[in-house]
Amino acid sequence: MSFSIQFVNDPRPTSEFCDGPAEWGIITIEDFREGVILPTGYWTPARYREQWLSAAKRILEGQDATAFLVGVTGSWKSMKFCFSWVVYSIGDSLVVQNIMLQPRRFGRRADLLSPWSAILPHTSIATERENRGLKISEWTTQRSSIEQFAKGLSEAVP
């Protein structure tokens, strides 16, 4: 069982989604593994790790049934979208979905200090007009995987 998001030491990425400084990262959810681009113009790698730790603690301590792990950040007012991961606590399992938030859809309901405020209840089928009826990609992991992830972050975050 495994879950992690980490920065990797690779050459600086370029992307149509990020016009400023960025670093490569990798997200691992059990046997799924994917590279991600993490912009560092608004948040430093240390700030990302702090937010990921806070989100992991929220779900592990039962403060909420959802946790929000920020992936792409910028000024919420000027951001066009934000790719991130939502972790839903469902029974004994944790379900992870990669989502794209569009700030214009959430208005004042969300900000990067409390991003979970924009998260809708878990569903496996998209309800948005453009994607209605399509299955949402999701992965299942165990609580112990998030606990190990949080433990590793606790050791890295001062």
Residue 132 lies in a domain: yes
Residues of the domain holding 62 = 44-156
Evaluate whether residue 62 is within a structural domain.
yes
β 32-39/22-29 pair status: antiparallel
Rounded to an integer, the average pLDDT of 52-64 is: 84
pLDDT value of residue 140: 93
What is the domain-level CATH number for residue 115? 3.30.2450.20
Q: Find the largest Cα–Cα distance for the chain.
A: 44
Mean pLDDT, rounded, for 23-50: 87
150's enclosing H/E stretch is: helix 143-156
Q: Is residue 22 part of a domain?
A: no
Domain presence at residue 116: yes
Query: Per-residue pLDDT for 148 more than 90?
Result: yes
Find out whether 70 and 51 touch, Cβ atoms under 8 Å: yes
CA separation for the pair 87, 66 (Å, rounded): 5
Structure tokens at 36: 């991600």
pLDDT more than 90, % of the chain: 17
Tell me the pLDDT of the chain averaged across its residues: 78
* Residue 24 scores a pLDDT above 80: yes
Average pLDDT over residues 59-86: 69
Overall pTM surpassing 0.85 (yes/no): no
Quick check: is 117 in a domain? yes
- 99 pLDDT exceeds 50? yes
In a domain, 7, yes or no: no
Number of domains in the chain: 1
**Within a domain: residue 83?**
yes
Is 124 domain-assigned? yes
The residues with which 90 forms a beta bridge, in sequence order, are 93
